[in-house]
Structure 1
């Protein structure tokens, strides 16, 4: 997301409008931004804690949005709305259903 500072208020409003639309449609589950002021921790299986992250996620910043949708096609449509409002590409992932959760 590479947006001039003067455009941030309009991008923020557009993004929030899509979230309000998702809430009104009853598909919004939760979402949020990554707090860049708090460093990530890596907790190993043995309980060891280190101040690091997975190498492939060092560049990850921003946030996420979880929607409950009826199809992949619907997910693509919502991701497109979010991408347009945020003026940046969105990565689409699907949660694998776990009957224990």
Structure 2
């Protein structure tokens, strides 16, 4: 089973001021641990929500492109892992480690 482990950042998150070398070392160590455990399928960090574009089909059938994220929330996904885990409990263990390494809230969801 595959799981998404998503890191949530506030809208005004600035990696230059929010992240330090210790955090980068912790994230690198977590990535190394995931690779060694053979559970990491993919990992990716996302650029800021200020650079996001949203697309939505309108009633006329055209697709409208707007600046910013689709949802108007106070937090957005800042990065994520796709993991191969035996069950939700195992995925949650990795999610706990991600929350500690990234110093941010984490969401864990199973893929269909």
Q: Which TM-score band applies after superposition, normalised by the shorter structure?
A: 0.7 to 0.9
After superposition, the CA RMSD in angstroms is 2.7
Rounded to whole Å, the distance in 2 between the matches of 1:50 and 1:6 is: 30
TM-score by length of 1: 0.76
Report the Cα distance in structure 1 between the residues aligned to 2:88 and 2:18, rounded to whole angstroms: 35
Instruction: Please report how far the alpha carbon of residue 61 of structure 1 lies from its aligned counterpart in structure 2 after TM superposition.
Output: 4.1
For these two proteins, the number of residue pairs brought into alignment is 96
Unaligned ranges ≥5, structure 1: 97-101
Alignment-derived partner of residue 65 in structure 2: 50
Question: Which range is displaced more, 73-82 or 40-49?
Answer: 40-49
Higher strand proportion: 2
- Normalised to the residue count of structure 2, the TM-score between the two structures is 0.70
Q: Which runs of 4+ in 1 moved over 6 A?
A: none
